[in-house]
Structure 1
């Protein structure tokens, strides 16, 4: 996938393309990391690259459950566990889950095909507006783009703290870009 979203045909296509780009970029922060590095928390926070990717998958899955009108238990205790890889949990499983979530999101949005589709607002949390009853599907997709981009920034910092890897050199390594005078693909330190 290139470093920029390509031309888009319409608003729905654009929202899905930008969400896909953010998913791709956060997954790139894990490129070449060992299982220990994926769990590493090298900053003042308890965030790890693997945990941030797991959280983004869980968040997107939760929102799409609401969009589809399926019941979702409000388990705020599980919220904290979604920011870390559990003992014995493989990162490959997390990536496979994120891919399934992405596929389900695209199917849901394409099946609904109405960005004004009403999505109920959870009034049990204080950060949601109490004077409105619905978000739109458009709002949910913009929120998921924002949420994934925010956590991609966190993952960038964690990744750089782990081994110095940064976004474009990681993308160059993952995609096999040729080395130039101004951009060298990331390589693992020996």
Structure 2
């Protein structure tokens, strides 16, 4: 889904259920946070998405798109599905944040993120239950329940960063 955030009437997020089973509630909250992140990035140019927050920080919205793509890939493909995919962005440290305002790079980052989110959604939808266990390298067994809660936490934290980045870029707040 491509989000158009120029009008608050185009908000693609649905209300989160207030009385549903655990899987439905958790996936709705994660979907809401993913869409919130997409809304924060919508309508910006490649250069604006690559704009860094301040000083020596490498934090940018484009870096967050790439970071989320890597996170989705790690937790759902590697940890939960026991696949061994190569990193999306090779290099030392968190190279997801080493970005330029290249429109091709932006399109590639969104495509990778959407592919990883789609994989994650399929994995969760077909998992027998939330007690399915994956293996986090260096840490050991983790349940799908734990991974979903962690992803909600991860998006919520970075949505706060995205709020500040977006306000720094064009003054926009809200949504």
Q: Which of 91, 106, 127 is the matching residue for 2:106?
A: 91
Q: Which has the larger radius of gyration?
A: 1
Structure 2 SS opposite 1:167: coil
In the alignment, which residue of structure 1 is the partner of 2:84?
71
In the alignment, which residue of structure 1 is the partner of 2:130?
115
Matched positions, count: 160
Cα 1:84/1:20, change in 2 over 3 Å:
farther
In the alignment, which residue of structure 2 is the partner of 1:46?
58
Contact 2:48 2:101 in 1 (8 A): no
TM-score between both structures, scaled by the size of structure 2: 0.80
Q: Name the Cα RMSD after superposition.
A: 2.3
CA distance in 1, matches of 2:130, 2:54: 38
List gaps (5 residues or longer) in structure 2: 1-11
Cα 1:111/1:11, change in 2 over 3 Å:
same
1:153 aligns with 2:165: no
Q: CA deviation at 1:85?
A: 3.3
CA distance in 2, matches of 1:2, 1:22: 9
1:137 aligns with 2:144: yes
Q: CA deviation at 1:14?
A: 1.4
TM-score between both structures, scaled by the size of structure 1: 0.74
